[in-house]
Amino acid sequence: MNDKLKGLKNLLDEKVRLYNQPSFIKGDPISIPHRFSKLQDIEISGLFAAVLAWGNRTTIINSCNKLMNWMDEAPYEFILHHKETELKKMLGFAHRTFNATDLLYFIHFLKYHYAKYPSLEDAFVPGDYYTEETVEEALVHFQDYFFSIEHPERTRKHIATPARKSACKRINMYLRWMVRKDNNGVDFGIWNKISPRQLVCPLDVHVSRVAHRLKMLHDDKSNWQNALLLTQQLRKLNPEDPAVYDYALFGLGMAERF
Protein backbone atom coordinates (compact mmCIF):
# COMPACT_ATOMS: atom_id res chain seq x y z
CA MET A 1 0.00 0.00 0.00
CA ASN A 2 1.51 3.33 -1.07
CA ASP A 3 1.73 6.41 1.16
CA LYS A 4 -1.33 8.03 -0.44
CA LEU A 5 -3.49 4.99 0.25
CA LYS A 6 -2.08 4.68 3.77
CA GLY A 7 -3.02 8.29 4.48
CA LEU A 8 -6.55 7.75 3.17
CA LYS A 9 -6.91 4.53 5.17
CA ASN A 10 -5.72 6.23 8.36
CA LEU A 11 -8.22 9.07 7.88
CA LEU A 12 -11.17 6.77 7.18
CA ASP A 13 -10.26 4.26 9.89
CA GLU A 14 -10.20 7.10 12.41
CA LYS A 15 -13.69 8.19 11.35
CA VAL A 16 -14.96 4.60 11.46
CA ARG A 17 -13.79 4.35 15.08
CA LEU A 18 -15.63 7.60 15.82
CA TYR A 19 -18.97 6.72 14.24
CA ASN A 20 -19.20 2.90 14.43
CA GLN A 21 -20.27 3.10 18.06
CA PRO A 22 -23.49 2.43 20.00
CA SER A 23 -23.88 6.20 20.47
CA PHE A 24 -24.55 6.40 16.71
CA ILE A 25 -27.72 4.34 17.01
CA LYS A 26 -30.09 6.68 18.83
CA GLY A 27 -30.34 9.39 16.17
CA ASP A 28 -30.27 7.05 13.17
CA PRO A 29 -33.00 4.98 11.48
CA ILE A 30 -31.10 1.85 12.54
CA SER A 31 -32.49 2.57 16.03
CA ILE A 32 -35.83 1.11 14.85
CA PRO A 33 -34.68 -2.50 14.32
CA HIS A 34 -32.51 -2.18 17.44
CA ARG A 35 -35.72 -2.22 19.46
CA PHE A 36 -36.20 -5.90 18.61
CA SER A 37 -34.43 -9.20 19.26
CA LYS A 38 -36.32 -11.67 17.04
CA LEU A 39 -34.68 -12.10 13.63
CA GLN A 40 -37.86 -11.50 11.64
CA ASP A 41 -38.80 -8.42 13.69
CA ILE A 42 -35.35 -6.97 12.98
CA GLU A 43 -35.66 -7.77 9.27
CA ILE A 44 -39.12 -6.26 8.86
CA SER A 45 -38.60 -3.13 10.95
CA GLY A 46 -35.19 -2.69 9.34
CA LEU A 47 -36.66 -2.87 5.84
CA PHE A 48 -39.22 -0.18 6.63
CA ALA A 49 -36.58 1.97 8.34
CA ALA A 50 -34.25 1.69 5.34
CA VAL A 51 -36.92 2.30 2.71
CA LEU A 52 -38.22 5.35 4.60
CA ALA A 53 -34.68 6.67 5.21
CA TRP A 54 -35.20 9.70 3.06
CA GLY A 55 -35.08 13.24 4.43
CA ASN A 56 -34.83 14.47 7.99
CA ARG A 57 -33.72 11.67 10.31
CA THR A 58 -36.09 12.70 13.12
CA THR A 59 -39.02 12.58 10.70
CA ILE A 60 -37.86 9.18 9.41
CA ILE A 61 -37.71 7.77 12.94
CA ASN A 62 -41.12 9.25 13.81
CA SER A 63 -42.71 7.67 10.74
CA CYS A 64 -41.16 4.30 11.60
CA ASN A 65 -42.29 4.58 15.21
CA LYS A 66 -45.84 5.14 13.97
CA LEU A 67 -45.64 1.98 11.85
CA MET A 68 -44.24 -0.13 14.67
CA ASN A 69 -46.93 1.14 17.01
CA TRP A 70 -49.64 0.20 14.51
CA MET A 71 -48.05 -3.26 14.34
CA ASP A 72 -48.29 -3.57 18.13
CA GLU A 73 -44.48 -3.55 18.47
CA ALA A 74 -44.46 -7.06 17.00
CA PRO A 75 -44.07 -6.63 13.22
CA TYR A 76 -43.57 -10.32 12.38
CA GLU A 77 -46.69 -11.40 14.25
CA PHE A 78 -48.61 -8.54 12.66
CA ILE A 79 -47.46 -9.44 9.15
CA LEU A 80 -48.51 -13.07 9.60
CA HIS A 81 -51.74 -12.69 11.52
CA HIS A 82 -53.24 -9.21 11.00
CA LYS A 83 -56.89 -8.84 10.10
CA GLU A 84 -58.04 -6.64 7.24
CA THR A 85 -59.74 -4.32 9.73
CA GLU A 86 -56.36 -3.64 11.36
CA LEU A 87 -55.10 -2.11 8.12
CA LYS A 88 -57.72 0.66 8.09
CA LYS A 89 -55.74 2.78 10.54
CA MET A 90 -52.89 2.86 8.02
CA LEU A 91 -54.88 4.40 5.18
CA GLY A 92 -53.71 7.91 5.99
CA PHE A 93 -50.01 7.06 6.20
CA ALA A 94 -47.56 9.14 4.20
CA HIS A 95 -43.81 9.68 4.38
CA ARG A 96 -42.50 11.78 1.53
CA THR A 97 -43.75 9.91 -1.57
CA PHE A 98 -44.30 6.62 0.30
CA ASN A 99 -48.03 6.40 1.00
CA ALA A 100 -50.67 3.97 2.24
CA THR A 101 -50.88 2.20 -1.13
CA ASP A 102 -47.17 1.42 -0.89
CA LEU A 103 -47.40 0.44 2.76
CA LEU A 104 -50.25 -2.00 2.20
CA TYR A 105 -48.40 -3.65 -0.67
CA PHE A 106 -45.24 -4.03 1.46
CA ILE A 107 -47.34 -5.75 4.13
CA HIS A 108 -48.98 -7.96 1.50
CA PHE A 109 -45.63 -8.97 0.02
CA LEU A 110 -44.08 -9.69 3.41
CA LYS A 111 -46.99 -11.95 4.36
CA TYR A 112 -46.61 -13.73 1.01
CA HIS A 113 -42.87 -14.17 1.53
CA TYR A 114 -42.90 -15.32 5.17
CA ALA A 115 -45.54 -17.92 4.33
CA LYS A 116 -42.81 -19.65 2.30
CA TYR A 117 -39.49 -18.68 3.89
CA PRO A 118 -38.18 -18.19 7.45
CA SER A 119 -36.08 -15.12 6.66
CA LEU A 120 -36.12 -12.10 4.38
CA GLU A 121 -32.57 -13.04 3.42
CA ASP A 122 -34.15 -15.64 1.13
CA ALA A 123 -35.73 -12.81 -0.87
CA PHE A 124 -32.23 -11.68 -1.85
CA VAL A 125 -30.53 -15.09 -2.10
CA PRO A 126 -32.96 -17.94 -2.82
CA GLY A 127 -30.23 -20.61 -2.76
CA ASP A 128 -27.92 -21.72 0.03
CA TYR A 129 -24.94 -19.62 -1.04
CA TYR A 130 -24.22 -16.36 -2.82
CA THR A 131 -21.04 -16.49 -4.87
CA GLU A 132 -21.05 -13.27 -6.91
CA GLU A 133 -18.35 -10.66 -6.42
CA THR A 134 -20.83 -8.02 -5.25
CA VAL A 135 -24.47 -7.94 -4.19
CA GLU A 136 -25.54 -6.59 -7.58
CA GLU A 137 -27.32 -9.81 -8.64
CA ALA A 138 -28.93 -10.14 -5.21
CA LEU A 139 -30.38 -6.63 -5.53
CA VAL A 140 -31.70 -7.32 -9.02
CA HIS A 141 -33.24 -10.58 -7.81
CA PHE A 142 -34.86 -8.89 -4.80
CA GLN A 143 -36.53 -6.20 -6.87
CA ASP A 144 -37.76 -8.74 -9.44
CA TYR A 145 -39.08 -11.02 -6.71
CA PHE A 146 -40.62 -8.19 -4.69
CA PHE A 147 -42.78 -7.25 -7.65
CA SER A 148 -43.41 -10.79 -8.94
CA ILE A 149 -46.95 -10.77 -7.55
CA GLU A 150 -49.71 -8.32 -8.46
CA HIS A 151 -48.65 -4.88 -7.27
CA PRO A 152 -49.36 -1.15 -7.66
CA GLU A 153 -47.09 0.25 -10.36
CA ARG A 154 -46.38 3.35 -8.27
CA THR A 155 -44.71 1.22 -5.57
CA ARG A 156 -41.88 0.10 -7.89
CA LYS A 157 -40.02 3.37 -7.29
CA HIS A 158 -39.50 2.45 -3.64
CA ILE A 159 -37.30 -0.60 -4.30
CA ALA A 160 -34.30 0.43 -6.37
CA THR A 161 -32.37 -1.89 -8.67
CA PRO A 162 -28.95 -1.76 -10.34
CA ALA A 163 -30.75 -2.80 -13.53
CA ARG A 164 -31.94 0.80 -13.76
CA LYS A 165 -28.51 2.23 -12.83
CA SER A 166 -29.71 3.37 -9.42
CA ALA A 167 -27.10 3.68 -6.67
CA CYS A 168 -29.53 1.66 -4.50
CA LYS A 169 -28.40 3.59 -1.42
CA ARG A 170 -31.18 2.58 0.94
CA ILE A 171 -31.26 -1.10 0.04
CA ASN A 172 -27.44 -1.31 0.25
CA MET A 173 -27.67 0.32 3.66
CA TYR A 174 -30.23 -2.31 4.67
CA LEU A 175 -27.86 -5.07 3.56
CA ARG A 176 -25.06 -3.46 5.55
CA TRP A 177 -27.27 -3.57 8.65
CA MET A 178 -28.19 -7.23 8.14
CA VAL A 179 -24.82 -8.59 6.92
CA ARG A 180 -21.89 -6.70 8.50
CA LYS A 181 -20.42 -8.40 11.55
CA ASP A 182 -18.28 -6.79 14.24
CA ASN A 183 -18.37 -6.28 17.98
CA ASN A 184 -19.37 -2.62 17.95
CA GLY A 185 -23.10 -3.22 18.31
CA VAL A 186 -24.44 -1.09 15.44
CA ASP A 187 -24.86 -3.48 12.47
CA PHE A 188 -26.67 -6.73 13.22
CA GLY A 189 -24.75 -9.35 11.21
CA ILE A 190 -27.71 -11.76 11.33
CA TRP A 191 -27.53 -12.89 7.69
CA ASN A 192 -24.94 -15.40 6.51
CA LYS A 193 -25.52 -16.14 2.81
CA ILE A 194 -23.96 -12.81 1.82
CA SER A 195 -20.55 -11.93 3.23
CA PRO A 196 -19.39 -8.43 4.20
CA ARG A 197 -16.80 -8.46 1.39
CA GLN A 198 -19.65 -8.68 -1.16
CA LEU A 199 -21.44 -5.58 0.12
CA VAL A 200 -21.55 -2.40 -1.95
CA CYS A 201 -21.02 0.84 -0.05
CA PRO A 202 -24.25 2.85 0.23
CA LEU A 203 -23.89 5.89 -2.02
CA ASP A 204 -25.96 9.07 -1.88
CA VAL A 205 -25.27 12.70 -2.73
CA HIS A 206 -23.41 13.29 0.55
CA VAL A 207 -21.17 10.23 0.29
CA SER A 208 -20.48 10.79 -3.42
CA ARG A 209 -19.44 14.38 -2.70
CA VAL A 210 -17.04 13.28 0.03
CA ALA A 211 -15.64 10.45 -2.11
CA HIS A 212 -15.09 12.86 -4.99
CA ARG A 213 -13.26 15.33 -2.74
CA LEU A 214 -11.08 12.48 -1.50
CA LYS A 215 -10.35 11.65 -5.17
CA MET A 216 -11.93 8.23 -4.87
CA LEU A 217 -14.44 9.07 -7.62
CA HIS A 218 -13.99 10.98 -10.86
CA ASP A 219 -17.24 12.88 -10.29
CA ASP A 220 -19.88 13.22 -7.59
CA LYS A 221 -22.74 11.48 -9.38
CA SER A 222 -24.83 9.12 -7.28
CA ASN A 223 -25.37 6.09 -9.53
CA TRP A 224 -24.64 2.37 -9.62
CA GLN A 225 -21.41 2.75 -11.57
CA ASN A 226 -20.00 5.07 -8.92
CA ALA A 227 -21.25 2.83 -6.10
CA LEU A 228 -19.24 -0.04 -7.58
CA LEU A 229 -16.23 2.15 -8.28
CA LEU A 230 -16.22 3.53 -4.74
CA THR A 231 -16.50 0.02 -3.32
CA GLN A 232 -13.54 -1.09 -5.45
CA GLN A 233 -11.51 1.78 -3.98
CA LEU A 234 -12.59 0.87 -0.44
CA ARG A 235 -11.59 -2.77 -0.99
CA LYS A 236 -8.02 -1.56 -1.40
CA LEU A 237 -8.25 -0.34 2.19
CA ASN A 238 -10.21 -3.28 3.62
CA PRO A 239 -10.83 -6.18 1.21
CA GLU A 240 -13.00 -8.16 3.62
CA ASP A 241 -15.22 -5.32 4.85
CA PRO A 242 -15.33 -2.36 2.42
CA ALA A 243 -18.78 -1.18 3.57
CA VAL A 244 -17.45 -0.39 7.04
CA TYR A 245 -16.28 2.89 5.52
CA ASP A 246 -19.90 3.93 5.06
CA TYR A 247 -19.59 5.17 8.66
CA ALA A 248 -16.60 7.35 7.79
CA LEU A 249 -17.98 8.76 4.54
CA PHE A 250 -21.41 9.36 6.04
CA GLY A 251 -19.87 11.04 9.08
CA LEU A 252 -17.66 13.27 6.98
CA GLY A 253 -20.56 14.21 4.71
CA MET A 254 -23.37 14.72 7.20
CA ALA A 255 -21.86 15.45 10.59
CA GLU A 256 -18.67 17.22 9.56
CA ARG A 257 -19.82 18.78 6.26
CA PHE A 258 -16.51 17.79 4.68
The b-or-e profile of 86-112 (16+ CB within 10 A means b, else e) is: ebeebeebebeebbeebbbbbbebbee
> Does pLDDT of 158 surpass 90?
yes
- Rounded to 10 deg, the angle between the 39-51 and 100-114 helix axes is 150
pLDDT at residue 257 in the model: 73
Q: How far is CA 174 from CA 9, 110, 152, 163, in A?
A: 24, 16, 23, 18
In this prediction, residue 242 carries a pLDDT of: 98
Residue 258: per-residue pLDDT? 72
Asked if residues 190 and 178 have their Cβ atoms less than 8 Å apart, the reply is: yes
Query: Residue 3 has what pLDDT?
Result: 87
**pLDDT, average across residues 235-256:** 93
- Mean pLDDT score, 108-127: 98
In this prediction, residues 199-223 reach a mean pLDDT of 96
Write the DSSP symbol of residue 9: H
The predicted-structure confidence for 165-202, as pLDDT tens digits, reads as follows 999 999 999 999 999 999 999 999 999 999 999 999 99
Close Cβ partners of 56 (under 8 Å, ≥ 6 residues apart): none
The SS3 of residue 98 is: strand
Q: Are 242 and 175 a contacting pair, CB within 8 Å?
A: no
**Residue 192: per-residue pLDDT:** 97
